[in-house]
Structure 1
Amino acid sequence: MSGRDKGFDKFDKVEEKNAEELKEENLQAKMEIARNQFVYDVMSPLGYLDKIMDVGIEYDKEIPLYHEVSTEGEIDVKATISTSISTDTSKAYSINVSVGNDGKLTQTCQNEIMAISSNLVDSNIEGADKFEEVLKNMALSIKSGSIEFEVSNITPVSAEFLITASSPDLLPEEDDNCEISVALKFVIVFNPKGNNKFDTEYATTAIGIVGAIVLCVAIVYLAGGIELVITALVKLAFVAG
């Protein structure tokens, strides 16, 4: 030893923790990792993984992801992440997600995804056939939970579309439940001086809600912009021009 490095003679005091406290600390760390991974797995197939990684994960707060303005109107996309699940049986459409012992989606889950995707394929909208794969990827990442769709605040010139992926227990091997929900909200506002208006009567029907919500998610995911969204909505008879 040269003696040049005198080492340390003072140390920070570390609070001692018992076995139960250490167990709880480890559980909280596992929950945080599991929830972050769930968010990434949901955002990735929808095309917003880079966005959420840039802005970071915040709970119970609207996180802006996408905004576009044109002469036709504007689209605003926001995410809300929560560590609790609010169950609403009145939602227009819900896919019950479950995975079998073989690691694949159950046949019931696949049938529900195919049912909602077929409405888009039948509409002859470009790129609509790709959304079935998006929903399957989302469902595989959820493993056990649901994907729910909702439309609200409908007026002739604006509407909100919501898609929510949730799981009641990300860590089934633990005694404490690890809940999470990830909601994407798409707000479309038309130029009030334009010809396009939402058909509010059609929009409140089950088929109108399902078709419009999934369509908006698919179109924005494909980065088509508001003009493409409007064109697609017209094909679904959701917009009265």
Structure 2
Amino acid sequence: MDDAVGRLTVLGSCGAWPEPGRACAGFLLSHQGFRVVLDLGYGAASRLFAHCPDRLPDAVVVTHEHPDHCADVSALGRAWHYTVQANAPGDPPRLPLHCTPGTVRRLEAMEPRPHPAELFDVHDLGEPADVGPFRLTTHPLPHHVPNFGVRLSAPGLTVAYTGDTGPSPLLADLARDADLVICDATLRTPPPEGEPRYLMTAAEAGHWAARAGARRLMLTHFWPGTDRAAAAAEAGTEFGGEVLIAEEDLIVAL
């Protein structure tokens, strides 16, 4: 497909650890010739490289530091170092990375040399930023570690992505009128009443997509072994628009 046409490619759809033949969280958003990666967990880098055979992506956004969302950023950093920086004259270019401080610490622990700051141009995910043709804005959402839902808007196109999250009224703002909202659907059943909420069910994902007025909903971050068709049906009881299931290598036109 032409990179000038907006599209989303699923690199990974699992939470916690990847099922055989799958990968953990990862998406590639392409628009107007610009490519931005949203999370890159276990096993997602190889699919990224398969979908970007001509050049590496232009920017990376990581919602939080859990390794099922950021482990393969280290692999991308190695590829950047040995294929882009090694062949660049003068000061080696760094790949823009919008993330939490904890993400950088995780990357440093995996590979201190070269340091992530030498590979990546690191930006605080909590701050709005221009990312290629997109305006990036974020909302802090409830999770076990600091997690930001991200909203990427360009003229005529808005994509929202929750990362991992429990139910929150901020989800309605994050995904307001979005063309596509990519939403956590980890839990098969809600936990007992009164327990802290750091993840969601598919039905809850549908509820918040409906509250936001989003056009399409993509369910992701499935716990290994989840019946994905059943999850889509549950989301459809709350959301009247199109419900998509994140499947590795799925490409969605936007």
User: Same fold by TM-score, threshold 0.5 exceeded?
Assistant: no
TM-score if structure 2 supplies the norm length?
0.24
Q: Which has the higher helix share?
A: 1
Return the index of the structure with the highest Cα Rg.
Answer: 1
TM-score by length of 1: 0.25
Q: Flag the structure with more relative contact order, 1 or 2, with Cα contacts below 8 A and sequence separation at least 6.
A: 1
